[in-house]
């Protein structure tokens, strides 16, 4: 449960847990991607059942197949960047701040308008920056580093789509941030250009996309992964963006519904893109297909899903 707090200093217990969690997350990723996990360059793997690593490459990337993904992610990224220029919403004036009513906020989010913590906001920045470097870990493992170009391309697509969708929605919805309602927050924060970009949380969507992408990639390269390791990998990957979202709400930057939406969009994008590149897609969206082709009006995109 996210408490409605207004202090600037998070508890030492929470910070300690977050630090340990992040170290654990990195440790699991290093274990899954490091050369230490293998005694021989082919089959031995300390995190796979019976220490036997499945051979083969889980993803298939070639130029013809990849063009639609690159074009689509580029268009989404461009649309997200363009949204800032097209957004005509102006920051609040001091007079307009006095007219804001918390009664206009839904019951679920209303109780969090008094949250304010610059330290928690800064900590969430560290989490967002920290997960950005996770793809570098793929360079250290002999299976993944063979496909590092393809994996970095997929990583870039994940980040491009996540940012494009997030920034586009932020500008389209133009939701007021909770700290704008809080009189103890400095006027410079309540009246800046970001004060109406609450929905949805970019920090949460970014960390969820990066965490779920890495968990998906590591799982796909280790289909025989020990059950315990897989549970830890996915649990911690899910917890990292949850902690980020918690910090964003506690900082007064977002409402709970903002971080819920950001989490869902980021996690789905981080899982979906490697899934669409999988050699043997199974289960949900196993027949998904993305195509791009010219038309009389310009370019047309087709995303087909077989459920």
Task: Report the distance separating Cα 2 and Cα 273, nearest Å.
Answer: 31
In 3D space, the residue among 245, 292, 290, 299 whose CA is nearest the CA of residue 272 turns out to be 290
Helices (DSSP H) in 174-226: which residue ranges? 187-190, 202-221
State phi, psi for 91 to the nearest 5 degrees.
-60, 160
Task: Report the distance separating Cα 162 and Cα 174, nearest Å.
Answer: 18
Determine how many CB atoms are found less than 10 A away from the CB of residue 1: 4
Q: Supply 272's token pair.
A: 């979906």
Q: Which residues pair with 304 in a beta bridge?
A: 289
Task: Report the distance separating Cα 74 and Cα 57, nearest Å.
Answer: 26
Which of helix, strand or coil describes residue 59? strand
Q: Supply 142's token pair.
A: 């002999």
**Cα dist. 71→64, 119, 162, 181, 290 in Å?**
12, 39, 15, 40, 11
Task: Report the distance separating Cα 101 and Cα 10, nearest Å.
Answer: 28
Q: Supply 92's token pair.
A: 């609040």
Q: Give the pLDDT confidence score for residue 39 in this predicted structure.
A: 41
Q: Give the pLDDT confidence score for residue 212 in this predicted structure.
A: 95
Q: What is the DSSP letter of 90?
A: P
Are 247 and 207 a contacting pair, CB within 8 Å?
Answer: no
Task: Report the distance separating Cα 223 and Cα 217, nearest Å.
Answer: 10
Q: Give the pLDDT confidence score for residue 9 in this predicted structure.
A: 44
Q: Give the pLDDT confidence score for residue 161 in this predicted structure.
A: 96
- Distance in angstroms between the alpha carbons of the first and the last residue of the chain: 35
With a cut of 70, which residues of the chain have pLDDT below it?
Answer: 1-44, 46, 51, 54, 135-143, 281-307
| Residue given tokens 């199974």 in the structure block | 282
Model pTM? 0.79
Work out the angle between the directed axes of helices 12-33 and 118-132 (0-180°, nearest 10): 0
Q: Supply 171's token pair.
A: 């500008």
Q: Give the pLDDT confidence score for residue 274 in this predicted structure.
A: 94
Q: Give the pLDDT confidence score for residue 130 in this predicted structure.
A: 85
Q: Give the pLDDT confidence score for residue 170 in this predicted structure.
A: 96
Which of helix, strand or coil describes residue 78? helix
**Domain residue extents for the chain:** 12-304
């Amino acid at each position: 449960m996210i408490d409605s707090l207004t202090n600037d200093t998070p508890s030492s217990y929470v910070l300690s847990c977050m630090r340990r969690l992040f170290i654990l997350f990195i440790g699991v990723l290093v274990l899954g991607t490091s050369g230490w996990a293998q005694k021989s360059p082919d089959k031995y793997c300390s995190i796979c059942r019976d220490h036997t690593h499945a051979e083969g490459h889980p993803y298939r990337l070639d130029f013809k197949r990849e063009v639609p993904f690159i074009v689509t992610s580029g268009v989404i990224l461009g649309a997200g960047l363009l949204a800032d220029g097209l957004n005509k919403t102006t920051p609040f004036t001091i007079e307009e701040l006095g007219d804001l009513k918390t009664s206009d906020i839904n019951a679920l989010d209303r109780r969090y308008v008094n949250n304010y913590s610059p330290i928690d906001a800064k900590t969430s920045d560290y989490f967002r920056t920290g997960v950005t470097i996770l793809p570098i870990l793929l360079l250290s493992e002999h299976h993944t580093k063979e496909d590092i170009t393809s994996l970095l391309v997929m990583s870039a697509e994940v980040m491009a789509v996540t940012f494009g969708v997030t920034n586009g929605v932020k500008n389209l919805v133009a939701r007021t941030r909770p700290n704008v309602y809080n009189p103890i927050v400095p006027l410079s924060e309540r009246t800046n250009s970001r004060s109406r970009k609450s929905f949805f949380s970019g920090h949460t969507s970014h960390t969820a996309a990066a965490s779920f992408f890495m968990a998906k990639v590591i799982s796909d390269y280790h289909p025989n992964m020990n059950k315990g390791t897989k549970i830890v990998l996915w649990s911690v990957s899910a917890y990292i963006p949850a902690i980020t979202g918690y910090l964003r709400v506690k900082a007064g930057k977002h409402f709970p519904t903002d971080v819920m939406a950001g989490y869902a969009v980021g996690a789905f994008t981080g899982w979906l893109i490697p899934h669409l590149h999988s050699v043997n897609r199974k289960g949900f969206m196993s027949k998904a297909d993305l195509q791009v082709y010219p038309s009389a009006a310009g370019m047309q995109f087709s995303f087909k899903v077989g459920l």
